[in-house]
Chains A and B, each alone.
Chain A
């Protein structure tokens, strides 16, 4: 085999590898979208699963409040400290409050809440459904004539989409409490100036922007994690793999989607003639 033939052979191998990977990726995305549409559609078909939805909201929302408050408080304080140290060099410490408020409400609030809840509730969703799959509990529901997507998936997705903006609002609020404690109580920025600057610069749409993103992140992590759990194969190892894949893919997608969502919102503001 000549050198050219060898190189050609290696290039073919590489191209085949990427073709199969990209093809597989596209097929996977298609399957996840189909899974999501059929599950969301099932939400609006009788019998409505209010009880299940409330049960999952309690798990996704209520049981996440503690960890959201803890991380929110320290995120607000850490961010405020770093911005304070930077702004102090330019004698602009009065701007710490609004910059932290903007950063938290638009970006860090929804993204960190998304990552924390995806890890906590998304992981639990994938593990629970995966265990139900390998223990034949999902098959049992199927043969009982229960629509498994309606009973197991749709309430989890609805709960995540509803709870994520609420948790993000809690995160935003607690972060600002942290920022207040650091700025006003620790580094002695004037309290009236701190609040006035925030009032001057923050509009309700900045907060809504973050809450909108949070709902999208809720949809993403709940769909990815339930899809992974629902399609688990291979016993205990399969459950572990499904949980791992669900959480990792959700986190990566939240971070990537955040960038695109931010740009889309910016574009929307431009079209609407807002800054």
Chain B
């Protein structure tokens, strides 16, 4: 099902018992759910620029708008979202084809995080359809706002488990303010047919050591954000470092392994409050 407006999303969510909300599935290999028998709610036709104000550094877009369209429209005014293509360890992955809602819901690391932040820093507000079909808004068009709780930030990286994001208000950046990413790249080794992507973010002091661990593999790394993207054979893992985190593609439930009990307990509480019947993106977080 491919709704074109928020009210359609409401009808679909109210009508179903379980639904899988997706954008263009650019990052589907990183999901914990490899195959879904659930109804799919694709957002790509809920698309379009709602408002664009370069002098305010603000753009309002529908959730299914492709990042490529957003970047193109912003580019006309010398603005952009400071996302830079990343490498899956073998070849560049064109994140421009992803949707805004899908990208913020996955919150994948990108090259310019250290300099330009991430979705949590750009998002000013959003419209969401909750599991019971209620349409809710949070935030405002102002780049600075402390009125109430920043609920929209909870949806960054939530993988669609809390609600369906139908409209997003974003802060933009001047293109000319972006630094050139200085990327390290290993082009050694082969990408096997069963290779998986290993994304690891470490504390800056460990970056060189983490990078050295990739020396035998196809990999890229960005020192400023202490992140490596590495293509590994299916059963291979790289050494871990204190405080680091890893996400993977193609490894099923190993794609994401949260272990912090406080984080897990709070996520379960959040899910129980926002989606008590586990209607939205079931299985996406494994433990919920």
Report if A and B associate in a common complex.
no
Residues of A within 8 A of B (CB): none
Residues of B within 8 A of A (CB): none
